[in-house]
């Protein structure tokens, strides 16, 4: 178990600070020493209303004993209350006894990748607060999944039976990104057919030698055994990552994405604040000046 009790107040404040931090703030912030052990990061993604929050809540209840577990829900609209974050099926009192569970919703209004601009820093903060595991809920089909893919170790994609979700996901190239497919709300008709469709599609996809073969599970909030099975599959994927030395590769991909995003954001800000006359100067001069300002920590 963790060495010190979870300081919810300090964590909440630090997350709020980070949510509002500018690129200059990030560039000025002291280099954090890497946390000794990093939290496992599990992404739950899918279309609006796919049941992500409900599933995150049940998964958390299942996985929290003996662990410090955080749920970060990227909410494209406005920050909501803890109750809504968990979906309407879980009552907050079910979670009261779980002292090591922390739930937070994060707005994504300004971020161009559909997540939150400083999400990488927020996830690192969870490491500093000695979380063992973080569930990251993200909404959408398309660009958001690319961004989410890089932030997590295990990506779970939720699809609904008898929906256009598969077609959408195939179009957006997401089928290759998921480690685990979940046909959620499997109590609804059409779930079995959907599962066999996805198995067929994913078996057609090209898999490199020794790569992880994505699994396809059915889940329903009314079936605790389906939550347990998903939880086990997540553990199996995490064990596979360790066995195949994938953590270092993931860390490097994450760092690459973070640096690129920081520089892109910074460049956007610097260009946006120039007067129209700036663009009358020769191109090379514009570039020199802009690059200077991009690198300046103020």
Q: Which chain residues interact with ligand GTP by CB under 6 A?
A: 46, 48-54, 87-89, 139, 184-185, 187-188, 220-221
Number of residues that bind Mg ion (CB under 5 A): 2
CB of 47 to ligand GTP, least distance (A): 7
CB of 269 to ligand GTP, least distance (A): 30
- Side-chain-side CA neighbours of residue 251 (13 Å): 12
Of 89 and 247, nearer to ligand GTP (C-beta) is 89
Of 65 and 83, nearer to ligand GTP (C-beta) is 83
Q: Is 224 left (phi over 0), alpha (psi -120 to 50) or beta?
A: alpha
CB of 49 to ligand GTP, least distance (A): 5
CA distance 2 to 199: 40
CA distance 294 to 298: 9
- DSSP designation for 32: P
Picked from Mg ion, ligand GTP, none, the partner binding residue 50 (CB below 5 to 8 A depending on kind) is ligand GTP
Q: How far is the CA of 146 from the CAs of 4, 122, 142, 284, in angstroms?
A: 35, 18, 7, 33
CB of 193 to Mg ion, least distance (A): 26
- DSSP designation for 125: H
Q: Which residue is nearest to ligand GTP (CB)?
A: 87
CB of 50 to Mg ion, least distance (A): 8
Picked from Mg ion, ligand GTP, none, the partner binding residue 51 (CB below 5 to 8 A depending on kind) is ligand GTP
Of 51 and 214, nearer to ligand GTP (C-beta) is 51
CA-based Rg of the chain, rounded to a whole angstrom?
21
Picked from ligand GTP, Mg ion, none, the partner binding residue 220 (CB below 5 to 8 A depending on kind) is ligand GTP
Of 53 and 108, nearer to ligand GTP (C-beta) is 53
Of 92 and 263, nearer to Mg ion (C-beta) is 92
Q: Which of 45, 53, 100, 151 binds Mg ion (CB under 5 A)?
A: 53
Give 242's contacts (C-beta < 8 A, 6+ positions apart): none
CB of 52 to Mg ion, least distance (A): 5
CA distance 67 to 130: 10
**DSSP string covering 52-80, please?**
HHHHHHHHHHHH-TTS-EEEEEEESS---
Sign of CA dihedral 112, 113, 116, 118: negative
Stretch that binds Mg ion, among 52-60, 96-104, 205-213, 267-275 (CB under 5 A): 52-60
Where do contacts with Mg ion occur on this chain (CB under 5 A)? 52-53
């Amino acid at each position: 178990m963790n060495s010190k009790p979870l300081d919810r107040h300090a964590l909440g404040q630090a997350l709020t600070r980070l949510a509002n931090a500018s690129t200059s703030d990030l560039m000025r912030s002291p280099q954090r020493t890497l946390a000794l052990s990093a939290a496992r990061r599990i992404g739950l993604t899918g279309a609006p209303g796919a049941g992500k929050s409900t599933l995150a809540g049940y998964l958390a209840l299942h996985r929290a004993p003996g662990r410090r577990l955080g749920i970060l829900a990227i909410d494209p609209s406005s920050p909501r209350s803890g109750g809504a974050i968990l979906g309407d099926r879980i009552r907050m009192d079910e979670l009261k006894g779980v002292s090591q569970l922390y739930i937070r919703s994060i707005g994504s209004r300004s971020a161009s990748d559909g997540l939150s601009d400083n999400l990488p820093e927020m996830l690192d903060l969870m490491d500093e607060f000695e979380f063992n595991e973080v569930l990251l809920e993200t909404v959408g089909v398309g660009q958001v999944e690319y961004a989410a893919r890089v932030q997590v170790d295990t990506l779970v994609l939720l699809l609904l039976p008898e929906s256009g979700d598969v077609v959408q996901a195939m179009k957006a190239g997401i089928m290759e990104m998921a480690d685990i497919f979940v046909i959620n709300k499997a109590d609804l008709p059409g779930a079995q057919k959907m599962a066999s469709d996805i198995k067929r599609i994913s078996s057609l996809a090209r898999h490199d030698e020794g790569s992880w073969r994505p699994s396809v599970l059915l889940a329903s909030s009314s079936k605790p055994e389906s939550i347990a099975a998903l939880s086990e599959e997540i553990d199996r994927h995490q064990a596979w990552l360790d066995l195949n030395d994938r953590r270092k590769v993931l860390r490097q991909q994450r760092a690459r994405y973070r640096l690129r995003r920081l520089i892109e954001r910074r460049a956007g800000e610097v260009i946006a604040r120039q007067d129209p006359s700036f663009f009358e100067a020769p191109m090379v001069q514009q570039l020199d000046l802009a690059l200077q300002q991009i690198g300046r920590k103020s």
